[in-house]
Structure 1
Amino acid sequence: MDDVKIWVLAAVIPLMLCQSTWLYTDARKRGRYPWFWAIWGLIQCPMPLLFYWLIVRRKRR
């Protein structure tokens, strides 16, 4: 692996973990399938955040 790939991985992994943790805690607080959102948050970025905002957060308003 070259240096660029290592730096990209070093930046992406904490981002995905933070996203997944936030999705899990917020979905758990709202009772909306926290494990689903956490696992999806670990796999992709930023689609889980956008869908979470549209499906869960926006319906409550």
Structure 2
Amino acid sequence: MIPEDVPVIIWVLLFAILFTQATWLFVDARRRGFNPWFWGLWGCIHFPLPFIAYWLFKRDGLQVIKNLFNRSNDNE
């Protein structure tokens, strides 16, 4: 299928999904201090991987990183 064969409604839906995802990622990352431009731009060009990665990062990843730093500081 070439881009000219894709119905306009599909392009509109794709744009709406990407724009909504990018906006949400940017706003939430800025509120939490997680490189908002990176998350917003990545969310603007891919779906749904940036959303899934951000969800895992903000939920578990940050806690894992904090635990690693706390363990290394406790050993000193």
TM-score normalised to structure 1 length:
0.86
The runs of 4+ residues in structure 1 deviating greater than 2 Å are 57-60
CA RMSD of aligned residues (A): 1.4
The C-alpha deviation readout for 1:15-42, integer Å capped at 9, x for no partner, is 1000000000000000000000000000
Deviation at 1:10, TM superposition (A): 1.0
The residue that corresponds to 1:47 in the other structure is: 49
Residues 1-61 of structure 1 aligned to structure 2 (within 5 Å): 1-2=4-5, 4-58=6-60, 59=62
Q: Kindly indicate whether structure 1 or structure 2 has the higher relative contact order, using CA contacts under 8 Å at least 6 residues apart.
A: 1
Instruction: Indicate the SS of the match to 2:7.
Output: helix
Distance 1:57 1:26 in 2: 12
Of structures 1 and 2, the larger Rg is shown by 2
Deviation at 1:6, TM superposition (A): 1.5
Query: Unaligned 5+ residue runs, structure 2?
Result: 64-76
Query: Unaligned 5+ residue runs, structure 1?
Result: none
